[in-house]
Amino acid sequence: MTAHGILPDHEIAALTAGGAIHAQTALADGQIQPASLDLRLGQTAYRLRASFLPGAAREVDDVLKSGLVMHQLDLSGGAVLETGCVYLVPLIEALSLPADISAAMNPKSSTGRIDVFTRVIADRATAFDAAPAGYEGPLYVEISPRTFSILARPGDRLVQARFRRGARQATREVTVSVDLAGFDGVNGYRARRHAGLIDLARIGGHDPRDYWEPVSLRNGQMVLDPGEFYILASREPVIIPLNEAAEMAPIAPEIGEFRAHYAGFFDPGFGVTEAGGDGGRAVLEVRGRDVPFILEHGQPAARLVYEPMTAPPDTPYGLVASNYQAQGLKLAKYF
């Protein structure tokens, strides 16, 4: 019997070899992760009047031709995607999925940590970040920088896809709370408004002092200001066994005063000692909403939802170059 669950790296590679995942150019090194596939930006970005879903009867291209596009940008030489704007970019990868395999998408960790809001859209989609079992067609990513404008080029990777055989099945859920005790005297980071551009090609090339303000606390409490963006860390160490994958989800969306975590895939091997981890922390991307809100040390902030893998990955997270294995309070790889 074929195992149900999240597909590992070698099964993703097999999907690619069989044409279920196809692209205008060959997959790049490191694009296949232990339990996900990085998706790449194509050549053109469309500046939109508003976000949208095509609905069950339309393709994305039909909507773009209906007057929604304000103008288009050629990303070939690099183009600035500005804060407060909504863009749509066709992805290099397209899908021809088998009848028993679906796809779910999510921002990459580095995308969430620079407060760039993304959602993947498929043709005839009634929901974001999902391609149903058997889907055949292109993929597009909606991009809306919230705090920092970004310089993007074709091939940049802002989002990732997971492939699932059968229905979603959660094996367990773990509540994650926020750590405000401090990491070397820093309790968190607050994004600076009106900071400079982030060039997605410059890994480690931006001075964090120009973009982030360290937050130091004395009483284990933080007041979240409405509309401000923070980087915090979980109090609990996170370990993802090799036979499971996990996704971060809000602890209680009905609270409304803040939202924690914008990018949520955790691959098998994260935090595992054999893969160079020691129970790495989950980094929480937090935005204050509506009114000032007091966040306290140990307050529940998110849930880790675990799912079974169909098989362990050939290369667990951490055994190849990884930016966030064994992390504490850590900014995105661009800093």
Q: Where are the domains of the chain?
A: 5-165, 172-308
> Tokens 């995308």 appear where?
111
pLDDT of residue 250: 72
Q: Do domains 5-165 and 172-308 have the same CATH topology?
A: yes
Give the separation between CA 240 and CA 245, rounded to whole angstroms. 6
pLDDT of residue 321: 64
- pTM comes to 0.94
pLDDT of residue 263: 66
Task: Provide the 3-class DSSP secondary structure of residue 12.
Answer: helix
Span 85-134, pLDDT tens digits: 999 999 999 999 999 999 999 999 999 999 999 999 999 999 999 999 99
Residue 301 carries which side chain, given as an amino acid letter?
A
Give the separation between CA 240 and CA 317, rounded to whole angstroms. 9
| Cβ proximity of 145 and 115 under 8 Å | yes
Sequence-ordered list of residues with C-beta below 8 angstroms from that of 78, at least 6 positions apart, any chain = 151, 152, 153, 199, 201
Residues of the chain with pLDDT under 70: 1, 251-257, 261-263, 275-277, 321, 323, 325-326
Which CATH number does the domain 5-165 belong to among 3.40.50.880, 2.60.40.10, 2.40.50.140, 2.70.40.10? 2.70.40.10
pLDDT of residue 243: 96
| Cβ proximity of 149 and 83 under 8 Å | yes
> Tokens 């939802």 appear where?
305
pLDDT of residue 103: 98
pLDDT of residue 301: 87
- Regarding the domain with residue range 172-308, which homologous superfamily does it belong to in the CATH classification? Deoxyuridine triphosphatase (dUTPase) (2.70.40.10)
pLDDT of residue 203: 96
The encoded tokens of residue 20 equal 């279920």
From the CA atom positions of the chain, what is the Rg in Å?
A: 19
Give the separation between CA 139 and CA 83, rounded to whole angstroms. 23
